[in-house]
Structure 1
Amino acid sequence: MKCAQPGCTGTVVDGYCDVCGMAAEPGGSAATAPAGPTHPTPATTAPVAAAVDGTPCTQPGCTGKVLDGYCDVCGSPPASVTVAPSVAAETQPLSGGDASVATAASSVRSAAIGSRLARATGSVSRRTRTGSQRMRAARLGAGLTAVPPAPPVDASKAINPDPQVPEDKRVCSKCGAAIGRTVDGRPGRTEGFCPQCGQQFSFSPKLHPGDLVAGQYEVAGAIAHGGLGWIYLARDRNVSNRWVVLKGLLNSGDPDALAAAIAEQQFLAQVEHPLIVEIYNFVTHEGAGYIVMEYVGGKSLKQILKARMGENNGEYDPLPVDQALAYVLEVLPAFQYLHDLGLVYCDFKPDNLIQVGDAVKLIDLGGVRRIDDEDSAIYGTVGYQAPEVAEVGPSVASDIYTIGRTLVVLCMEFRGYQGTYLHTLPPPETTPLFREHDSLYWLVAKCCAADPADRFASADELRAQLIGVLREVVAARTRGTALTSAASVLFESPATATSVLTWSALPSLRPDTTDPQHAWLTTVSATDPAERLTNLAQAPEDSAEVLLARAHAALELEEPARAHAHAAELLAADPWDWRALWVDGLAALQERDWSAAQAAFSAVYQQVPGELAPKLALAVACERGGLPEVAEGLYATCAATDATYVAPAAFGMARVRADRGDTAGAVAALDMVPSTSRGYPESRQLRAEVLLSDAGAAPAASPGPRLAVLDQAMRSIESVPMDPAARQRYTVRILTEALGVVTAAPGNGQHDVTVGEHVATETGLRAGLEKAYRALAREAPLLEDRVRLVNQANAVRSWTLT
């Protein structure tokens, strides 16, 4: 079956596309992840019934129909398993720093949620919901950015001609002590026992060129040294002499232990995914065990970073943020695939992701283990491994942690990540990368939260937010020149494009179709909020969606206290449900409690950092709550990232700039609203208002610049369809202001200057004013108004002899 993803040419093999890695079914593999007894339950997916061909696509805004199990327009499955995302990193208010810190949304106080709320209320700090299954894979860069291709590496050139481990790299695999070092001028031993713990070590290659392993694999040489010894390149004499890699499985002479280890690792041969290196076989040779795997001839991200450093005169040169995000985005489906099988990768880091051409592949499955495995050795790397692994073992949450740490290492020189910041992140106020990319900071902070329950619940949930952050980063780099729109899986688009955003005009939450009462809620059709509340009181179960519906109805009735109460019920049931804080923020806006609204929306932003709706809501709360710099930055992000957010965000930026007297900045913000937007006519009127205010504030001794501003104001209202009476009222205001400028200036006007279509002379402006007054008189419904306007027309007209 062909892959149903738009633009993909792959074929579905064993449930996954062999090109993009997308699952053929929302549930991925039929295998489910066994729950570990001492650490958070991994994300699992419920089976989804197949939809009948011809049924409408369920994706918001899509007009397609289901064909062969997938939409013929957007490629989505007909009933994606969607569970409301949860959790965020515990945050603290920021203080100090330079001027840029004052404009960062990270400086806004955040409401308690997740483990912080659970501890405060006495709830158990444990995730109770599975991860979202709303989004799956995309190609490298997701069509948003370009990543330079990595040329394939000839296998024969990958062989190390002199396989030696430098002394400074020789450490005990058990206790981490330095071993095999020079003593009193004598070179360190390459084989022996650790003086600290007695663990046997060997840094000498066990296989040599020409050795035949298991009667099938002819060794060509060593290519690298890993935690279990040397890694070798060999040719498979039984399968077209293809190149394979042999990696040590167990450094032990105990045949029984070796047999048990091989049996324990056999499940790796079942792992088949286009983004994961393939395991071919398990073999023994002279008492040692080896995994035989696919040779991936490319460059690891660690090698790419080293090459960049070499080209930068030895100075660390991190990847551009968009490229780092693209790499992680691409590999996330592989993690979701493993987690769907009940496996955890354990040891993700830049060394273990290889790029070949424009694709990546996850290598080194030596640390992969079952989630419920409590006996096998745990492999990890200092600086990447989650802090709880030593006590409770690896989990989906600990894999998410390694992904977050890897992302930081790719994006910046993460000094102290194996020491000072072993289990923390550097503060954003002292970290340029985090100051510049607020959303990236919260994404990483959520990945690397101290409490596993506060991290992303699944790789898919992380991916949904990471792609939003990538869009923001690309938009910031291109300054919005490549502006597009992308439907959110969590929020509707902004409802209106007006100059003033109320709570009801902010984006609405999309319903969670996996809620047990979702079907029942579709039967509640009352439009009157009071009647709807009565109907909602009869719900079979007070599920999350029912509580949210009650809260929304209370907001429509302007009963914010009641909305707060329903939000509190939702948080009591699940301290990680950020939707309750979204409701709290809307209710706080109704109450004009700007501080509370800021705290609520800040918490939502931190939990879904790739979404624009919380940023827009937080911007409104900050604008009205005395934080205009933060508001302006958030508005700018929204306007640059998504076309559907341009109008409301541009209006917000214009208000902030106009309030501080920045007329040029306010006009520039309003000019961002495209002519295709529903808010374009209002933006032209507001533009005229801003220019009129600026013309009135200009010095009287500068008639030329003042007339130029008034000309812009006139042309703003002439450029859009408008109510005739409103247009004439603007004309009267503008020409009256211009007439005052002309009559106060020497020379009684400027014949080479116009205000709209009117020459900027006293005669020309009076003629225009007379015409406007008479047009208003014709439209006036009351006789006294008509008389008054005609008198004003007569009074303003130029004197003549006829």
Structure 2
Amino acid sequence: MRIPCPHRRFTGAPCDGAVRPTGYCDTCGRDEAAPGLPPLPAAPEDHGPAGLLELPLLDPGSPAERLAAAEQPVRILMTCSAGACGTAFVPPHTAAPPPDEGYCPVCAAPYSYRPELTRDGPPLQDQYRIRGPIAHGGQGWVYLAEDTHLEDFVAVKGLLNRYAERGAAQAGEERRSLVAIRHERIVQIRDFVSTADTDGTVSGGYIVMEDVGDRTLSAIVESVRRGAFVLDIEHVVTYGCQILEALSHLHGMGFLYGDMKPSNVIHHLDGIKVIDLGGVRKTGSVDPPPVITPYFAAPETDGTKPLTVAHDIHTVGVTLDELARWAVGDDVPGLGTSSFRLVVARATAEDPEERFGTADDMAGQLRGVLREIRALRGKRDQPEPSAYFTPSTELLGARLGSVPDYAHWLRRPLHRRSETPPAPALDPGTPTPTEIARRLPVPRPYPGDPQAARFGVSSYDPGQPLAQPAEGERSVEICLHNARLLLGQEGDEALEAAHEQVEAAAAIPGPGPVRQWRLSWHLGLVALRGADVRQEERAALLADAHRHFSAVHRALPGEYAAKLALAYCVEQLGPHRRTVAGPCAYELFRAVHARNPSHVGAALGLARLALAAGDRTAAVEVLDQVPDESRDHTVA
């Protein structure tokens, strides 16, 4: 008899494995009798933090809990300190774990991975009394120390291998980087101390930083694995937003971080601190060589070329992907966490041109995704205006609430006098493809377009065509503006002219990523209009529109405009909806409506779907949720 596993997955769903005769699950590997992971709330709205962009308050812990024994083995790959050698201390060069201090078995150069600062030693600079080592990473030991002048704790970071030829240069680079950087999400430097060996040789510097504890995101994951902490998908998205906030500050100063990973981010109190700035480099710099971790690094980064913003974006994407593996999110209904996955997918795209252009761009999409997840869980947050779309002033689907004229009631079928006359079916008010193409939100002009200023002046009339400048660069935005105007005209010639305008926009040289989604959006509009003009190609053109809007959705997962367009496409496809992949119309309308109940177009879409399923009660309920202050409340 199959015995189901009683435990849940880290992501929240019940484990679907079976208990083996040994007593362990064949899927999650847990002991059937062992304590399970912490129980989760029954209601989705009780999952995660109560507020938007909130993190749980975590104390750094007492010094006694954090101090590590000085003789603790170094759990990293040891290498020779001589740059010309660089031998890794592994078989066949060593037959056993190498000692923390000694000589290279190949070139006899000295090395030391032993903490050189001890509790019994003299205070650094007569001010910092060392309490002991608390952590070590690829670039240096970290000690807990008391600042005897200010009477508080600080973190002192030294060189991991004090004989490393580039060690002092690395410390100097970190010092110069830290001096210039001031941000609430980045560890704060307080002082620098240098020491010399007995022969007078400077062994490197010590960087004195604020003590932010040792709860790295890697440690958070370990707590989750032990069942001591519940990591939620909302926490992961918030981590991402705050990490990107720090990187945006660095990028704005002309720096690149280079080595983002969970172990380089600390959950400090109710926020995060980015630590270990030894890998920070000036844009375009290759000396010293960039510090990267291969698993998190972008595929085009090999440690010899300058770092890029695209590389930093990639490392954040991999970091969030790693954290999400341990985060509760299976409870999110509807689209679930699929929009978050799309953000990660774009951030980690193999082609750097396809990734987010800036840290702020990625953070904006993550905030939209977070609002969507919270809304689908039943939480309410203030809407955030879109940075990419202007809301439409015309409502789609308003005919659902209109009263038919007398001709509608005269179409009742014949019936016997003893029977109640059946009422003719009401028009659900499904918008036509042409109406959809003309009334969807309008993309905001790209600020970098050479003619972008023309769209922000008071004389700009969205109902009038614009001419390209007689001299200078041609404008993509003017082409797209004219294409939208042509879609408002009747006839096949206007449709062809609109398509030509979009093709002309695509032919203009310029930055591809920032405009590709705009081109896809307008190609989707052209396909929608074509579905009405060319009825014999209706299903194929609707599928084309769905494909183009899907590209926009992948590029901007945090925006609801693309979800709205996709919902209308799937609804229009009707019996042909299985010809396209992706979410159903209900899930898409629901994602928009949950995030913004005032969006009557989404509410009407849900009501139409409910009526089509014969559920009038559900249709009334969703329309009742439209708030009184909504502009189109009367229609609902």
1: distance between equivalents of 2:351 and 2:232?
29
Q: Which residue identity lines up with residue 247 of structure 1 in the other structure?
A: K
Q: Is the 8 A contact 1:494 1:644 kept in 2?
A: no
2: distance between equivalents of 1:197 and 1:580?
60
Q: Is the 8 A contact 1:171 1:178 kept in 2?
A: yes
Q: Which residue identity lines up with residue 407 of structure 1 in the other structure?
A: L
Matches within 5 A, 1:237-636: 237=148, 239-249=149-159, 251-253=161-163, 260-268=169-177, 269-279=179-189, 280-281=191-192, 283-286=194-197, 287-298=202-213, 299-311=215-227, 319-390=231-302, 392-413=305-326, 436-478=336-378, 481-482=379-380, 484-499=382-397, 500=431, 502-522=436-456, 525=459, 529=463, 532-533=464-465, 535=467, 541-558=473-490, 559-572=494-507, 573-574=509-510, 575-576=512-513, 577=515, 578-592=517-531, 593-625=541-573, 626-627=576-577, 630-636=584-590
2: distance between equivalents of 1:190 and 1:556?
75
Q: Which moved more, 1:496-505 or 1:300-309?
A: 496-505
Structure 1 position 648, deviation (Å): 0.8
Q: Which residue identity lines up with residue 332 of structure 1 in the other structure?
A: L
Distance 1:435 1:261, change over 3 A: same
Q: Is the 8 A contact 2:391 2:441 kept in 1?
A: yes
* 1:353-393: CA deviation from partner (whole Å, max 9, x where unpaired): 22222232111111111221123132222421211110634
1: distance between equivalents of 2:235 and 2:503?
41
2: distance between equivalents of 1:455 and 1:249?
35
Distance 1:194 1:147, change over 3 A: same
1:641 and 2:595 equivalent?
yes
Structure 1 position 258, deviation (Å): 6.0
2: distance between equivalents of 1:622 and 1:196?
67
2: distance between equivalents of 1:497 and 1:289?
67
* 1:2-53: CA deviation from partner (whole Å, max 9, x where unpaired): xxxxxxxxxxxxxxxxxxxxxxxxxxxxxxxxxxxxxxxxxxxxxxxxxxxx
2: distance between equivalents of 1:453 and 1:644?
36
Distance 1:159 1:471, change over 3 A: same
Distance 1:357 1:178, change over 3 A: same
2: distance between equivalents of 1:217 and 1:526?
64
2: distance between equivalents of 1:551 and 1:289?
63
Q: Which moved more, 1:574-583 or 1:436-445?
A: 574-583
Q: Which residue of 1 aligns with 2:630?
A: 677
Q: Is the 8 A contact 1:491 1:510 kept in 2?
A: yes
SS in 2 for 1:231: strand
Bigger radius of gyration, 1 or 2? 1
Distance 1:432 1:413, change over 3 A: farther
Q: CA RMSD in A?
A: 3.6
SS in 1 for 2:357: coil
Q: Is the 8 A contact 2:89 2:98 kept in 1?
A: no
Distance 1:461 1:193, change over 3 A: farther
Structure 1 position 178, deviation (Å): 6.8
Percent identity over paired residues: 32
2: distance between equivalents of 1:656 and 1:621?
13
* 1:503-555: CA deviation from partner (whole Å, max 9, x where unpaired): 222112223455432333456858695xx336557686422322222222222
Q: Is the 8 A contact 1:155 1:297 kept in 2?
A: no
2: distance between equivalents of 1:634 and 1:311?
35
Distance 1:431 1:662, change over 3 A: closer
SS in 2 for 1:164: coil
Q: Which residue of 1 aligns with 2:417?
A: none
Distance 1:562 1:221, change over 3 A: same
Structure 1 position 320, deviation (Å): 0.8
2: distance between equivalents of 1:200 and 1:458?
44
* 1:767-794: CA deviation from partner (whole Å, max 9, x where unpaired): xxxxxxxxxxxxxxxxxxxxxxxxxxxx
Q: Is the 8 A contact 2:369 2:557 kept in 1?
A: yes
Distance 1:253 1:301, change over 3 A: closer
2: distance between equivalents of 1:467 and 1:504?
28
2: distance between equivalents of 1:453 and 1:528?
31
2: distance between equivalents of 1:258 and 1:183?
24
Distance 1:307 1:526, change over 3 A: closer
Q: Is the 8 A contact 1:434 1:441 kept in 2?
A: no
Q: Is the 8 A contact 1:352 1:363 kept in 2?
A: yes
Q: Is the 8 A contact 2:332 2:376 kept in 1?
A: no
Distance 1:332 1:605, change over 3 A: same
2: distance between equivalents of 1:642 and 1:432?
17
2: distance between equivalents of 1:352 and 1:566?
48
Give the gaps of 5 or more residues in structure 2: 1-47, 398-430, 532-540
Q: Is the 8 A contact 2:49 2:56 kept in 1?
A: no
2: distance between equivalents of 1:624 and 1:325?
34
Q: Which residue identity lines up with residue 615 of structure 1 in the other structure?
A: K
Q: Which residue identity lines up with residue 546 of structure 2 in the other structure?
A: Q
SS in 2 for 1:638: helix
1: distance between equivalents of 2:181 and 2:484?
46
Q: Which moved more, 1:539-548 or 1:439-448?
A: 539-548
SS in 1 for 2:156: strand
1:222 and 2:133 equivalent?
yes
TM-score, normalised to structure 2's length? 0.72
Structure 1 position 398, deviation (Å): 0.8
* 1:255-300: CA deviation from partner (whole Å, max 9, x where unpaired): 8x66655544442211122221123325234242134132333322
SS in 1 for 2:211: coil
SS in 2 for 1:634: helix
TM-score, normalised to structure 1's length? 0.58
Structure 1 position 350, deviation (Å): 1.7
Structure 1 position 602, deviation (Å): 0.6
* 1:232-254: CA deviation from partner (whole Å, max 9, x where unpaired): 122345x4254332223473548
2: distance between equivalents of 1:173 and 1:431?
50
Q: Which residue of 2 aligns with 1:149?
A: 57
Q: Is the 8 A contact 1:302 1:351 kept in 2?
A: yes
1: distance between equivalents of 2:164 and 2:624?
75
Q: Which residue of 2 aligns with 1:736?
A: none
1:656 and 2:609 equivalent?
yes
SS in 1 for 2:158: strand
Q: Is the 8 A contact 1:246 1:291 kept in 2?
A: yes
Structure 1 position 308, deviation (Å): 2.5
Q: Is the 8 A contact 1:560 1:588 kept in 2?
A: no
